[in-house]
Amino acid sequence: MAAVPAVAMNGVKVGSTSQAYLESKAVKDTKSLISDLCRQFYNLGWVSGTGGSITIKAHDDSIPKPQQLIVMSPSGVQKERMVPEDMYVLSPDGSFLSEPAPKPYPHKAPKCSDCGPLFLKAYDMCNAGAVIHSHGMESCLVTMLNPSSKEFRITHMEMIKGIKGHGYYDELVVPIIENTAYEFELTESLAKAIEAYPKATAVLVRNHGIYVWGDSWINAKTQTIGIFMGAFGNQHDPQLDWLLSLSSL
Amino acid sequence: MAAVPAVAMNGVKVGSTSQAYLESKAVKDTKSLISDLCRQFYNLGWVSGTGGSITIKAHDDSIPKPQQLIVMSPSGVQKERMVPEDMYVLSPDGSFLSEPAPKPYPHKAPKCSDCGPLFLKAYDMCNAGAVIHSHGMESCLVTMLNPSSKEFRITHMEMIKGIKGHGYYDELVVPIIENTAYEFELTESLAKAIEAYPKATAVLVRNHGIYVWGDSWINAKTQTIGIFMGAFGNQHDPQLDWLLSLSSL
Amino acid sequence: MAAVPAVAMNGVKVGSTSQAYLESKAVKDTKSLISDLCRQFYNLGWVSGTGGSITIKAHDDSIPKPQQLIVMSPSGVQKERMVPEDMYVLSPDGSFLSEPAPKPYPHKAPKCSDCGPLFLKAYDMCNAGAVIHSHGMESCLVTMLNPSSKEFRITHMEMIKGIKGHGYYDELVVPIIENTAYEFELTESLAKAIEAYPKATAVLVRNHGIYVWGDSWINAKTQTIGIFMGAFGNQHDPQLDWLLSLSSL
Amino acid sequence: MAAVPAVAMNGVKVGSTSQAYLESKAVKDTKSLISDLCRQFYNLGWVSGTGGSITIKAHDDSIPKPQQLIVMSPSGVQKERMVPEDMYVLSPDGSFLSEPAPKPYPHKAPKCSDCGPLFLKAYDMCNAGAVIHSHGMESCLVTMLNPSSKEFRITHMEMIKGIKGHGYYDELVVPIIENTAYEFELTESLAKAIEAYPKATAVLVRNHGIYVWGDSWINAKTQTIGIFMGAFGNQHDPQLDWLLSLSSL
C-alpha cells in the first residue's frame, strides 16, 4: 500500500497512512454522514450557522479504534450548506491527510474546526468513536442559571436512560468548565474535567455550549438528546427545583 | 393457506397465522405508515431519536380487530431514519412473525420496542387499533408540576373535542402512573390505570411520557394532539390555574 | 353553458352554476392552493391535524366576488396529508357543487368543514375573498389570560401594519366571543361581533382559536401573521403589560 | 459596453451601467441566493410572510464594492414563495436597473422593499456587502423589555464572537432607535445611530425588528445569528440579569 505523508497541526510531517484506507468507502461515507448530521443538527438548533461542529472516526472492523482515521467538519462553513467535500481527514495523531479545496468569494480559506484539539483529547482519553460540539441554547442556559456552578445534575428523568451507564434512578452529573477567549484554550480544562468525572460522557462550557462523545456517532447523538431533554425540562418550569441541584464545588 | 410458526416473547411457539395475510398489502402499508409517522412525530418533538414508539394493527375488513396482525416499531433505531424494513410483525398474542435483518456497525442487533408488553396490554384491554408512546416534553412537564399528582385534568378547551367521548364542556382526566427502571415494569400499573379510568384513552408516565391509543392510527394521533395542546396550554401560562386541577388522590 | 344542480346545506336544490366555471383552472388552482396552505399552516402550528380550516373563493376577474364559487377544506382530514381532491366546491349561497370521494378505512365519510356556516357568514357580511380558521395556541392563550375579557387590544407593534386599515400608532382591536359545544353554534355571535366591530378583520373564540378574513388569501394570511405576532409578543414576556389592555366590557 | 439608462427612486435618470454586468452570472446568482435566504429565514422566523427583507451586492472582484450592483428583495411578496424573478437590481446610487414583471390577481403591483433607503444608507456609510432586515420576535422583545432603553448590551456569550471585532470578553452594544409610521422615516435615525456607534454592525428598531449588515452575506448572516442567540439567551431566563444591562441614556 502507498504511504501518504501527513502534516501534523504544528506543520511537521508525522507518519503515514494507507492510501487505500484514505480513499475507502468508510471515509467517503463518514464525510457524507457528517454533512447530513450538520444539516439535521442545524434544524434542531444544536448548531447554528458557523457555530458547533462534529467529528466521527471512519470505522473499519479490522482497525482498532485508536488507529482509525478521523473525519472532522470545517470551521466557518454554514452548517446548513455543508457538503461532504468540506470535510477534513486526519490521522489518529491529528495530522491532516486530506483538506477541502478553497471556495470563491465570499467564502474564507478552508480551516479545520477550532474544536480540533478538544476533539483529539476526547478521542484520546475516552476511546470515543464520535464527538459532537453543540451551541444549543439549552446547553448554554443550564450553565447560566448559577454562574458559579461547576456541575449540571439531573435524576429521575426517563431520557437519561439514553446516557451510557445511567438508569432512571441514577443521577447524571455533567461537569461545567469556564469559557475562554479561544476554543483551543479550553483543551486543558476539558482534559481535567474528563479525569475528574470518569463516568461523564459530556462536558458543558459556560455561556458557550457542550461537548458530548460516545462509542459511535449514534451513541454520541443519543446522549446529546438525553442531556438536552434534561436541560429543556429544567428550563421550562422554574418550579422544578427538585430536579435541579446545581452544586458550587 | 400456509401456516407460519410463531415464537412468543417467551420463546415458545404459540400458534400460526396465514402466510398470505403476513405478506399482504395491509402489512406492507402499515410498515410504511409507521415509518412515515416516526419521521413526522420526530419533527413534532413527540419522539426524539431513540425515544418513543408506535404500533398499528394491519387492518383487514374481514378479520375482527382482536385477530389482526400487529406491526411495531423497533427499539434503539433513530426515529428520523426509520424505514419500513425496521418493523416487527407480531401475531395478536404477541408472537414474532417477522423481524428486521441486522444492520452493520454501529447499529445494534435488532430489538422490538421495549413498549411491547404495554402495547399488547392496550390492544387487549381497549380493543385499540393503534398505540402511540411519546416522550414529548409537554407530556413530561404536566406530570412534574405536582410530583404527587395522580391525574392530569383539563376542561373548556376546544382541542379536547378530539378525544373520544369528550365535548367542550367535559373534563378530560388522564391518569398518571409512576415511572420504573425498566419499561416492561410499567405494564401492571398501566393495566390498573386503564381499569380505574374506563373513559380514558391515554395514560401519562411521570417524568417519562405518555401512552395514547385509539380505534385507528388517525384516532390515536388526533387524541395525542388534543392532550398535547391541553398540556401546552397549561405550560405556557402559569396564570391558567383554573384550567389545571391536578388532584393528589 | 350547462347548468349544475346544486344541493344546499339543508338538502334543497337551490339554483345552478356554470359547468365551465366549476371545471375551470381557477377552481382547480384554488383546490391545490388550499391543500398547500394546509400543509404550510400545519408546520406553522396554525392548524393541527384535524383542527382548523381554510376557504378561498375561486377568483375570476369577470365575476363579482359575491357570485364567485367557494372552495372549502374538509372536516376531519389531517392537514399535513391534505390533497386537492379533498376539497369541497360550494356555490355562493352555500350549496354543494362538488364533493370529495370517500376514502377507505380508517378514514371517515367525507364531511365539509364544520366552519362552513361561519365561513359563509364572513363571506356574506365582509365581502371576503378568503377566511382562515386557526387553532394556533397563541390565539387560544390571548383569550385565556383574562377569562372575562371581550377584546384583545394591541398597539405600537410593527406587524399590525399588515392588518387592513392599521398603522403603527393605531390600536388593533379583535373581539373575543365565547366558545360553544358545536362550531355552528358560533355563527350568531360571530355575526354580532362583525357588526359591532366593523373595522375588525378577525374574531377570536375563547379557548378555541381565531377566524381571520381578507380580500384575498394573501391578505387573510398576512393579517393572521400580524395578529399572531402580536399575541406572541404578549405571551412571551409577562412584563409587557403596557402592550396589553384586555378590557372586560 | 452598452449603457443602461437608470431611473433613480425620485424618477430622474441618473447615470448608466454596463449591460454585461447587469446580465452577469453574479447578478443572476445573487437573485437566486436572496430567494433561497428568504425561504430559509422564513423557516427560522427571521422574516414572516411579507415582513423583513434582504439585499446583497452582486460581487465582482474587478469592481470596487461601492460601485457594485445592488440586488434587493421586493415588498409585499411572501418570503416563503419568493423566486429569483421577484428581485430588483439597483445601481450603486439607488437607481432601478431591472424590475420584476407584474403578477396576476391577487398579487399587488411589484414594489421594491420599503427598506430601500435604509439599505442604501448602510451600504453607503458602512461599505457593506449585504444587509438583512428581520422582524424576528427576539429582536422585538429586547427592545420591549425596557421601553426607554437606547441600547441592547450583552457580554460573556460565545456567540458574540461571530460579530465583527468582538471576542468573548467584549461587550456587544447594539443601538435601539424608535419606530416610525413609515419605514423610510427611519433613515435619518439609522444614520445617526451608525455614526454614534462606529463599532456596531446592527441597529435595533423598537417594537419592529433589526437591521444587520456585513462585508458579505455570510458575514451579515453570522452576525444576525450572534445577536439573536444573545437576545434569545436573555429572553428565556429572567434570572439572567447579569447578562443584560439595558441602559437608558
pLDDT in tens, A141-180: 788 877 889 999 888 888 888 899 999 999 999 999 999 9
Counted residue by residue, chain A has a size of 249
Q: Please identify which of the residues B85, B99, B138, B158 carries the catalytic annotation.
A: B158
CA closest to B238 among chain A residues: A237
Within 8 A by CB and 6+ apart from D185, the residues are none
Catalytic residue among C85, C158, C185, C188: C158
Answer whether the bond into residue C175 is a cis peptide, omega within 30°: no
Higher pLDDT residue, A121 or D160?
A: A121
Which residues in chain C have their CB less than 8 angstroms from residue D208's CB? 158
Residue among D23, D85, D158, D188 flagged as catalytic: D158
Residues of chain B with pLDDT > 70, as a percent, come to 85
Closest partner CB to B242 (pick from C140, C147, C235):
C147
Of D249 and D173, the structure prediction assigns the larger pLDDT to: D173
| Better pLDDT: B61 or C233 | B61
Residue B3 has pLDDT above 60, yes or no: no
pLDDT of residue C93: 94
> Model confidence at D245, in pLDDT bands (50, 70, 90)?
very low
Kindly state the DSSP code that residue B37 receives in the 8-state scheme.
Answer: H
Mean pLDDT of B7-18: 52
Who wins on pLDDT, C19 or D17? C19
Q: Which of B25, B155, B168 to mutate to test the interface with C (most CBs of C within 10 A)?
A: B168
Nearest CA in chain D to A43: D44
Contact assignment for B105 to A61 by CB distance below 8 Å: yes
> Could C180 and B168 be called an inter-chain contact, meaning their C-beta atoms sit closer than 8 Å?
yes
The overall average pLDDT reported for chain C is 85
Q: What is the β-pairing status of strands A171-177 and A202-205?
A: parallel
Mean pLDDT for C186-209 is: 96
Residue A165 and residue A199: Cα distance in Å, rounded?
A: 8
Residue with the bigger pLDDT between A177 and D240: it is: A177
Q: Are A95 and A120 in contact (CB under 8 A)?
A: no
For residues A147 and C25, the model is more confident at C25
Cα D21 to chain centroid distance, Å, stands at 23
* From B105, B106, B137, residue closest to A236, measured CB to CB: B137
pLDDT-flagged residues of chain A (< 50): 1-3, 9-15, 235-249
Residue B238 confidence (pLDDT): 37
Q: Can you tell me the distance from the alpha carbon of B177 to that of D220, in angstroms, rounded to the nearest whole number? A: 50
Give kind and range of the element (H or E) at residue D219.
helix D217-235
Q: Does C140 contact B225 at a Cβ distance shorter than 8 Å?
A: no
| Grid cell of B144 as nine digits | 412534574
Q: What is the pLDDT of residue A238?
A: 37
Nearest chain C alpha carbon to D77: C218
pLDDT confidence of residue A147: 83
Q: For chain C, what percent of residues have pLDDT higher than 70?
A: 85
pLDDT averaged over every residue in chain D: 85
Q: Check if the beta carbon of residue B27 is closer than 8 Å to that of residue B69.
A: yes
pLDDT digits (tens, 9 = 90+) for C125-148: 999 999 999 988 778 878 887 788
- In sequence order, which residues have a C-beta less than 8 Å from that of residue B71 and are 6 or more positions away? B27, B30, B31, B34, B55, B56, B57, B58, B87, B88, B89, B90
Partners of residue D168 in chain A, C-beta under 8 Å: 179-181, 207
Task: Calculate how close chain A gets to B30, using CA atoms only, in Å.
Answer: 26
Query: What is the model's pLDDT at position B233?
Result: 54
**Are residues B122 and B128 in contact, defined by beta-carbon separation less than 8 angstroms?**
yes
CA distances from A163 to A154, A173, A213, A215, B29 (A): 12, 11, 10, 12, 34
Closest residue of chain C to B36, computed from CA coordinates: C81
- Number of neighbours of residue D3 by Cβ within 10 angstroms: 10
Q: How far apart are CA A208 and CA C59, in angstroms?
A: 53
- Flag if D159 and A78 touch (Cβ within 8 Å): no
Return the H-helix or E-strand segment holding C134. Answer: strand C130-134
Contact: chain B with chain D (3+ CB pairs below 8 Å):
no
Please name the amino acid found at residue C68: Q
Nearest to B157 by CA among B38, B240, B76: B240
Q: What is the mean pLDDT of chain B?
A: 85
Mean pLDDT calculated for residue range D34-51? 87
| Contacting subunits of A (3+ beta carbon pairs below 8 A) | B, D
The confidence band for B6, taking pLDDT boundaries of 50, 70 and 90, is: low
pLDDT of residue A16: 59
The CA distance from A68 to A91, in Å, is 7
Q: Residue A200 carries which side chain, given as an amino acid letter?
A: A
Higher pLDDT, D211 or D226: D211
Chain D residues in contact with chain C using a Cβ-Cβ cutoff of 8 Å = 48-51, 78, 80, 105-107, 135, 137, 140-141, 144-145, 147, 179-181, 205, 207-209, 235
3-state percent breakdown (helix, strand, coil) of chain C, nearest 5? 40, 20, 40
Mutate to test the interface with A, among D138, D235, D236, D241 (most CBs of A within 10 A): D236
> What is the tens place of the pLDDT at every residue in B172-218?
999 999 999 999 999 999 999 999 999 999 999 999 999 999 999 99
Q: Report in angstroms the alpha-carbon separations of D24 from A41, B233, D30.
A: 35, 53, 10
pTM confidence score:
0.90
| Chains A and B, touching by 3 or more CB pairs within 8 angstroms | yes
Cell numbers linked to C33: 392552493
**Cβ distance of B233 and C50 shorter than 8 Å:** no
State pLDDT tens for residues A47-77. Answer: 877 789 999 999 999 999 999 999 999 998 9
- With CB atoms and an 8 Å threshold, state whether B232 touches C137: yes
* CA of residue C244 relative to chain centroid, distance: 25
Å between D217 CA and nearest CA of chain C: 25
For residue C230, list chain D residues with Cβ-Cβ distance below 8 A: none
pLDDT in tens, D173-201: 999 999 999 999 999 999 999 999 999 99
Looking at CA atoms only, how far is residue D107 from chain C in angstroms? 8
pLDDT bin (cut points 50, 70, 90) of residue D76 is confident
- Taking an 8 Å cut-off on Cβ atoms, the answer to whether D159 and A51 are in contact is yes
- CA-to-CA distance for C200 and C128, rounded, in angstroms? 12
pLDDT at C70: 98
pLDDT classification of B14: cutoffs 50, 70, 90: very low
Distance from CA of A147 to the nearest CA of D (A): 9
Give residue ranges of A with CB < 8 Å to any D CB: 48-51, 78, 80, 105-107, 135, 137, 140-141, 144-145, 147, 179-181, 205, 207-209, 235
CA Rg value for chain B: 18
Q: Which residue stretches of chain B are H helix?
A: 19-22, 25-44, 116-126, 137-144, 187-196, 217-235
**pLDDT score for A136:** 82
Q: Is A11 exposed, middle or buried (0-12, 13-18, 19+ CB in 10 A)?
A: exposed
The one catalytic residue among A80, A85, A99, A158:
A158
Chains C and A touch (3+ CB pairs under 8 A): no
Residue B231 has what pLDDT?
Answer: 66
- CB-closest option in C137, C145, C179 to B229: C137
Active site residue B138: no
Q: Which of D29, D65, D164, D237 to mutate to test the interface with A (most CBs of A within 10 A)?
A: D237
Q: What domains can be seen in chain B, in order of their start residue?
A: 1-113 (3.40.225.10), 128-249 (3.40.225.10)
Which residue is it, cell 409512576?
A: B178
Is A205–D59 a contact, with Cβ atoms under 8 angstroms apart? no
Number of A–B residue contacts, CB under 8 Å = 65
Alpha-carbon distance A239 to D223, whole Å?
35
